[in-house]
Amino acid sequence: MFIFRTAVENIRRHKRKSILFFMACLLLSLIMQVILINLQVTEREYLEIRRSIPVTGRVTNLTGTSSSRLVIPEKNIAAIENCDFLKDKLYQAPVWFTNHEIDSKDVRMNNSYYGLATNSAEATSYKEITWLEGESEKSLSDEELKIIVSKPLLEAENTSLGKDLDLYIHYQHCDAYDVISYDFSKQHTFRIIGFYTANDNEQDRQGADILVPYKAITALHKEEGRRYLMDGASFSLVDPAEINAVKEEMKKTGYLSIAPGAVPSRKGNALLFEDSTFIKTATNFEDNIRLNKIFLPVLLGALLVVIYLLVNMLMQSRREEYLLYRVMGMRRRSVGVLFCLEHILIALGGVIVSLILSMIMGGTSWMQGAILSLLVLLCICVGTMIALVSIGRNSLMLAVQKND
């Protein structure tokens, strides 16, 4: 208690030096807090950028010149479907329907309905879909024979929502040259689970009369020993920062890199990513974060050295006071504890105020602030002890004679 009371009394006695040291500790501690805040803000902005800038991709031919009317192997669709890095997966392919039996070779020339086998209503520009109760867009991911039709088709077939509709499906045939033709038809019964209507000035970009689950059409083809191949596929990344991992995984599944000089074909075996904006923005943030992390230890080290030098300078100005305590019979260790306690009490006030200001600014956490505070206090103790060692090099008698 004697040392504590003496330390408090010394702080009051050296009021100017105590205020100066308090302000220095407050300023230096606050600078360190601001450095950490800047790094954390940059990292938070980077995470926000990863969520706000989408990275999309689509299947193309090897030259990258076409992403529609392709022939996409089943294994390539399966690779996208099974990749956990991807979301908003969209597959589509044409399917032709008629309400009566005709020669499938002439299906495109006759009074037929053009349909899209897909897994999402995003395949059509009609967003306002009236759903049958209990049905939703998730129904397009089923294998059940359900369809969503245009309102004109609903009126032409004189039917309504929730009813069954008998239609002929004209089956695909893909030859060795990836040419799609139609050579077989079979009647199936579909349940109408929704319909859509376009405005007078709105045209469906796909011109589809019917949307049907692609898994249902694929299953019907397999029953007949045939393949049903998608002609377009697209997706977006769950986390754009995983773009390199996605490319590597897709490469392992058989997708190729785009080769502009390759022979043009309709096979969908390459991927085109729309990632230039994200990469440019993310690279700038990553470079900034990397530089901050490189210079952060250097800046913190420099500030801690400044704290040490400041303590050392203050101690050198109190050389006579140190010697006086020694003449009075205090042990060197007790004098060291006394001076350390003075500086710690002053610095503790400075770092606490800086921590409060940092928290008000929405900066570092209490844990990080506590660690910084400990570093500051440790430097103060080290500076004080080194200064005491320097002071103590002079013998007590020589110092007394010098004062005389």
The string of pLDDT tens digits covering residues 296-354 is 778 777 777 777 777 777 777 777 787 787 778 788 788 878 888 888 888 888 878 87
Query: Which residues lie closer than 8 Å to 276 by C-beta, 6 or more apart?
Result: none
Are residues 116 and 235 both part of a single domain? yes
Local confidence band at 364 (pLDDT 50, 70, 90 cut-offs): low
Task: Specify the range with the lowest mean pLDDT, choosing from 108-112, 189-193, 361-365, 381-385.
Answer: 361-365
- Which tens digit of pLDDT belongs to each residue from 249-274? 999 999 998 999 898 888 999 999 99
Confidence of residue 81 (pLDDT cuts 50, 70, 90): very high
3-class DSSP assignment, residue 67: coil
Spatial separation of the C-alpha atoms in residues 209 and 205, rounded to whole Å: 12
Last residue of a domain, one of 274, 295, 329: 274
Q: Is the pLDDT of residue 116 over 50?
A: yes
Mean pLDDT of 397-402: 48
Strands (E), 222-312: 232-237, 270-274
Mean pLDDT of the chain: 83
Q: Are residues 369 and 330 in the same domain?
A: yes
What local confidence, expressed as pLDDT, does residue 398 receive? 45
Instruction: Indicate the length of the chain as a whole number.
Output: 404
What pLDDT sits at residue 345? 85
Residues 132 and 192 in one domain: yes
Helix (H, G, I), strand (E, B) or coil at 130: strand
| Whether the Cβ atoms of residue 97 and residue 166 lie closer than 8 Å to each other | no
* Same domain? 132 vs 229: yes
pLDDT of residue 270: 95
Residues 38 and 60 grouped into a single domain: no
* Same domain assignment for residues 285 and 265: no
Same domain, 248 and 332: no
pTM of the model: 0.67
Pick the last residue of a domain from 246, 274, 302: 274
290 and 235 co-located in one domain? no
- The reported pLDDT for the residue numbered 202 is 44
Total structural domains within the chain: 2
Dihedral sign (CA 285, 288, 290, 293): negative
Shared-domain flag, residues 180 and 321: no
**Residue 155: domain span:** 56-274
Same domain? For 336 and 230 the reply is: no
CB 185 within 8 A of CB 98: yes
- Would you tell me how many other CB atoms lie within 10 Å of the CB of residue 37? 16
> pLDDT tens-digit profile of 150-206?
888 999 999 999 999 999 999 988 887 777 888 889 999 999 999 987 654 444 445
At which of 252, 274, 296 does a domain end? 274
Task: Give the mean pLDDT of 368-387.
Answer: 73
Q: How far apart are the first and last CA of the chain?
A: 33
Q: Does residue 130 sit in the same domain as residue 265?
A: yes
Tell me what percent of the residues of the chain surpass a pLDDT of 70: 90
Q: Do residue 321 and residue 378 come from a single domain?
A: yes
